[in-house]
Chain A
Amino acid sequence: GAVVSQHPSRVICKSGTSVKIECRSLDFQATTMFWYRQFPKQSLMLMATSNEGSKATYEQGVEKDKFLINHASLTLSTLTVTSAHPEDSSFYICSVTASSYNEQFFGPGTRLTVL
């Protein structure tokens, strides 16, 4: 399977600041990347789907202006949480795939804590 990295693995920020999370596909070209969030003891919820070079498609209830997604290349997608608030504290996980694959490959996750 593909190797996916996320950076940072853990971030603590003050309320009102913006935080950028990177997701990199290290060993194959990912035409599609996904961003999930997971609250403690809950399941993963899809936030958005992004295709390289296109605007992301957000799931219902996810604010586009708050969670900015950029899929600039076949190996990099970024999620920026703008004006973060304590309720944005969560575990954010990206995944990658390509049309030749039947599965998604998950990154190690980023734990965001907003004080």
Chain B
Amino acid sequence: ELKVEQNPLFLSMQEGKNYTIYCNYSTTSDRLYWYRQDPGKSLESLFVLLSNGAVKQEGRLMASLDTKARLSTLHITAAVHDLSATYFCAVGGDYKLSFGAGTTVTVRA
């Protein structure tokens, strides 16, 4: 059974500082996804990582994938308030996705 672990589960960020969310998974996969969820809303796709060494950046967010270490990171640069949300990683296998528990991010002034 594929297990996906995210940490931290809660992250209080100070505006302007940098932070990283980690996503570890238990079995081989070359498909990893990052999503954002705002309260009461569905998932918004942030990144699709499909190969070892993949790195993608969008604004203040950057995601990377190391399939050998079974690790993905979501790096936040110079946090701003509108990044407050819950971030999920998900690992793909046979079309199915297994989700991490989510990281709830709060950005404070």
Task: Give the A-B pair count, Cβ closer than 8 A.
Answer: 43
Contact with B along A28-47 (1 / 0, CB 8 A): 00001010000001111110
Asked if B95 contacts A44 (CB within 8 A), the reply is: no
* Chain A residues touching B, range: 20 to 34
List of A residues within 8 angstroms of B97 by Cβ: 34, 46, 104
Residues of B in contact with A (beta carbons under 8 Å apart): 31, 33, 35, 40-43, 45, 48, 50, 88, 92, 95-102, 104
Asked if A107 contacts B50 (CB within 8 A), the reply is: no
Q: Which among B42, B48, B95 has the highest number of chain A CB atoms within 10 Å?
A: B42
Asked if B45 contacts A103 (CB within 8 A), the reply is: yes
Tell me the minimal C-beta distance from B74 to chain A in angstroms: 16
Q: Which among A32, A45, A93, A102 has the highest number of chain B CB atoms within 10 Å?
A: A102
The yes or no answer to A78 lying at the interface (CB within 8 A) is no
List of B residues within 8 angstroms of A111 by Cβ: 40
Tell me the minimal C-beta distance from A51 to chain B in angstroms: 10
List of B residues within 8 angstroms of A103 by Cβ: 33, 45, 48
Q: Which residue of A lies closest to B95 (CB)?
A: A32
Asked if B102 contacts A43 (CB within 8 A), the reply is: yes
Asked if A106 contacts B96 (CB within 8 A), the reply is: no
The yes or no answer to A49 lying at the interface (CB within 8 A) is yes
A103 to B96, CA, bound (A): 10
A108 to B38, CA, bound (A): 11
Asked if B41 contacts A109 (CB within 8 A), the reply is: yes
A105 to B95, CA, bound (A): 12
